[in-house]
Chain A
Amino acid sequence: GAGVSQSPSNKVTEKGKDVELRCDPISGHTALYWYRQSLGQGLEFLIYFQGNSAPDKSGLPSDRFSAERTGGSVSTLTIQRTQQEDSAVYLCASSAGGFGGYTFGSGTRLTVV
């Protein structure tokens, strides 16, 4: 596609429920990144996929968080048993890899009530 697409744009969920966030990167971009941003804060790195290599999961805050990237394209970030502190904007970005700039999606605003 022309840009990075994320869905849903907003999600309200009850504490304890599981949620899935989707990211559709730019076609041909080999690298895909997930970040989250709490209100008024900077971006916190979560996970990074590069081609067929094993993902860099070093930023995932707990084992309730997981992500996969199918066919080197679409990625899903799953948060199990959501907690209120998971409330944030989850941002996905893709790049052609190497040292270039990232293209970000518009994010998913997750609110856990």
Chain B
Amino acid sequence: SQQGEEDPQALSIQEGENATMNCSYKTSINNLQWYRQNSGRGLVHLILIRSNEREKHSGRLRVTLDTSKKSSSLLITASRAADTASYFCATDGHSGNTPLVFGKGTRLSVIA
């Protein structure tokens, strides 16, 4: 079953604008991760936020986590054409011995 659900399914913006993607999940987690996928191939790990963290930054990425609402957001600032990809959130089980559950992803298109 897919626990994480991203919103929107697709997003198209102009280069230089900010892109915000949201993720909702259903059960308690230990951490939440965001991944990027180019051209339907391997995923690249972007950032991990723990359940006791509320916000985390990495370069132009900003991730927030609201465990009370079971939701997370990924913000990409000053987007570039190279940011065009699909973005997935993934949640773990509480024990750490369960595989990540991925959402269906948000397809981001950044137009130059």
A residues neighboring B (CB under 8 Å): 4, 33, 35, 37, 39, 41-43, 45, 48, 50, 56, 59, 89, 91, 93, 97-107
Interchain CB contact under 8 A, B48 and A35 = no
Chain B contributes a number of interface residues (CB within 8 A of A) equal to 25
What's the Cα separation between A39 and B88 when bound, in Å? 15
Q: What 1/0 flags go to B66-108 for Cβ under 8 Å of A?
A: 0000000000000000000000100010001111111111000
Given contacts A50-B97, A89-B41, contact A101 B102 (CB under 8 A): no
Interchain CB contact under 8 A, B42 and A100 = no
**CB of B20 within 8 Å of the partner chain:** no
Interchain CB contact under 8 A, B42 and A105 = yes
Interchain CB contact under 8 A, A42 and B104 = yes
Interchain CB contact under 8 A, A106 and B31 = no
Chain B minimum-CB-distance residue to A101: B45
Given contacts A35-B102, A43-B102, contact A99 B42 (CB under 8 A): no
B77 to chain A, nearest CB (A): 22
**CB of B12 within 8 Å of the partner chain:** no
Given contacts A42-B2, A107-B41, A107-B42, contact A102 B103 (CB under 8 A): no
B62 to chain A, nearest CB (A): 18
Interchain CB contact under 8 A, B42 and A98 = no
